[in-house]
Structure 1
Amino acid sequence: MEGIKAVIEGVVSKKLNKYCDDRGTFMEIVREDEGLLRRFGQASMSMTYPGVVKAFHYHKEQDDLWFFPSGNAQVVLHDLREDSPTYRETAVFYMGEENPSILLIPSGVAHGYRVLGTKPAIIVYFTTKAYCPDHPDEYRLPYDDPAIGFDWKTKFR
């Protein structure tokens, strides 16, 4: 599929097309005929303030599909799947209104993000399972987990 690339096995990033006219803009985020989600479970939205890091967590059963329609974020993924050819690999994506894209995050891949710039970021995300408070499929790791070893600071050159 055009515009789709994989950096970590099973992770999919797709550049989105924005259509503009004198009324505004239109952008398709995901379509059922793309085959990105094995099934659909839930759609959610969250707003995060500038500079905040929300990391890391992963799921054993559900896949996530992320989209940032407002603001900008640095998204970091780390492959925890022992049977994956990209086991222990880390990938960084820059997503948001300056780079409209979606990111498919398979189960077993730890993920988190940091809001960039001076305005909040909004994330809209879709999952293959609905959240169950009695049995949440969510496992946390510290943002500074030494096994991942990611430095969240912006480096100025």
Structure 2
Amino acid sequence: MKATEVPEITGAYLFEPTPHADERGFFCRTFDADVVRSVGIAPEAFSQDSLSRSAGGVLRGLHLRSGDGEAKLVRCSYGRIFDVVVDLRADSPTYRNRAFFELSDETQVTLYIPAGCAHGFQALTGTADVSYRIDRPHDPAEDVTIAFDDPELAIPWPLPVTSMSPRDRKASSLAAFLQHKES
């Protein structure tokens, strides 16, 4: 497994496994504590694993957590997704930068998203399963959502949105989020 820094988002990494494929399929390590530790991330800090399943065109996000934020490892374990990270850490040298990725079951690449960054994705295949590993227990009272179609972010979502949660539909603009955060 190799770790590659994401240049657009300070502190974000892609963890690329080495699949072993044969006529039966493949096997690969999707998490390696030593590799994670080698880039300064404490592997023991992760406390919850979750899984979402989405149909093609479904959009989830842009999500982040208030308070201490939430770092996460994200991997598309089945299907393909268009994944988005937005750096909203005011003290970051990559503040307000965006980064886009295609994550898929073919590569099993894991994306590390630092706390304070917004995250969202769109399912590109009929079914897409996304695995999350987060660094502190989820508290719904800290959930924050930013509009996926905010013109300031201009995210090039690849497909028409087929479905999204009511919370995501009612999300505030980036400007409203930043104004609330500063007050």
Q: 1:95 corresponds to which residue?
A: 103
8 Å Cα contact 2:12/2:112 also seen in 1:
yes
User: Deviating runs (4+, > 6 A) in structure 1?
Assistant: none
TM-superposition CA deviations, 1:56-103 (whole Å, max 9, x none): 011242201001111000001111111101011111001012332000
Q: Classify the secondary structure of the residue corresponding to 1:149.
A: coil
Q: State the 1:44 CA deviation.
A: 0.6
8 Å Cα contact 1:66/1:103 also seen in 2:
yes
TM-score for the superposition, normalised by structure 2: 0.75
Structure 1 segments unaligned to the other structure (5+ residues): none
Count of matched residue positions in the alignment of Structure 1 and Structure 2: 151
The structure that is helix-richer by fraction is 2
Identical columns (%): 30
Q: Which has the higher contact order (CA 8 A, sep 6+)?
A: 1
TM-score for the superposition, normalised by structure 1: 0.86
2:138 is the alignment partner of 1:131 = yes
The structure that is strand-richer by fraction is 1
In the alignment, residue 115 of structure 2 is paired with which amino acid?
S
Q: Classify the secondary structure of the residue corresponding to 1:33.
A: helix
8 Å Cα contact 1:37/1:63 also seen in 2:
no
Q: Classify the secondary structure of the residue corresponding to 2:152.
A: coil
Q: State the 1:29 CA deviation.
A: 0.9
Write the distance in 1 (CA, Å) between the matches of 2:71 and 2:143.
11
Write the distance in 2 (CA, Å) between the matches of 1:107 and 1:148.
19
Q: 2:10 corresponds to which residue?
A: 9
RMSD between aligned residues: 1.9
